[in-house]
Structure 1
Amino acid sequence: MITKVDQPFLKRSVELAEEGLNKGDAPFGSLLVSSDGKILFEDHNHIGGGDATRHPEFAISRWAAENLTPEERAVTVVYTSGEHCSMCSSAHGLVGLGRIVYVSSTEQLKAWKKEWNIDAGRLEGLAIEDVIKGTQVDGPDEELSKQVKQLQARYYNI
């Protein structure tokens, strides 16, 4: 369940998504928060240069693996504007990060692309729970996901 404590971090993930969009990248933003509520790392998508693996959730996983103990990683929370793709879910699970809270779901993004006649792409678009086990996952946030839809529409020039 998404709580009031989660809301500022979710809003920040949407701000990061917009920052990425304004720099020519796909609108996705994420942050890693410690068990005491401190933002440890934040980033946005960087695929505009041609490397489609430069997702913020993947960057979070790499940063956490290099900078946190397994015990610290297990009690973190990742807040993200869009549900993890299978690559990012795998990275999250492999480094042992904690809870995931997302604004918009993979299913929402699929529906928006269908509505806009945008090709679904090569990936299946799996839910996080279809990729990793034992991780608490909460989302979507119905209100903030409207903002994410607007960012995605801008990205696709809708």
Structure 2
Amino acid sequence: MCAAAHGWVGLGRIVYASSSQQLIGWLEEMGVTPAPVAPLPIQQVVPNAVVEGPVPAFAERIRELHRRLHGA
């Protein structure tokens, strides 16, 4: 949803900390039920976007936040 809004208004480069694919893997490892929506790569949502990510140092922090949230 964020990438779509970003693309509609033409904000330019998209930088993200962790990917949907990473989140899917982490949640699977934690035994959490998958999300009810399909994850789409940013390039599929905004084909001409300049994209950077995931950022490894931030991805680990995001993973830890999910671990805490889900008690894993």
Q: Same fold (TM over 0.5)?
A: yes
1:133 pairs with 2:47? yes
Match of 1:100?
A: 14
Q: Which structure is larger by alpha-carbon Rg, 1 or 2?
A: 1
Counterpart-to-counterpart distance in 2, 1:144 and 1:89: 18
Match of 1:155?
A: 69
Matches within 5 A, 1:35-114: 87-114=1-28
Q: Which has the higher contact order (CA 8 A, sep 6+)?
A: 2
More strand by share: 1
Q: Which amino acid in structure 2 is aligned with residue 145 of structure 1?
A: A
Counterpart-to-counterpart distance in 2, 1:119 and 1:99: 32
Match of 1:83?
A: none
Counterpart-to-counterpart distance in 1, 2:8 and 2:58: 29
Matched-pair identity in %:
38
Counterpart-to-counterpart distance in 2, 1:128 and 1:118: 24
Q: Structure 1 segments of 4 or more deviating over 4 A? A: none
Unaligned 5+ segments in structure 2 are none
Report how far residue 154 of structure 1 moved.
1.1
Unaligned 5+ segments in structure 1 are 1-86
Q: Which amino acid in structure 2 is aligned with residue 130 of structure 1?
A: Q
Report how far residue 95 of structure 1 moved.
1.1
TM-score in terms of structure 2 length: 0.89
Report how far residue 133 of structure 1 moved.
1.9
The one-character-per-residue Cα deviations of 1:115-155 (angstroms, maximum 9, x if unpaired) are 01111111111111111121100111122211111011111
Counterpart-to-counterpart distance in 1, 2:58 and 2:46: 25
Counterpart-to-counterpart distance in 2, 1:119 and 1:96: 34
Counterpart-to-counterpart distance in 2, 1:150 and 1:132: 28
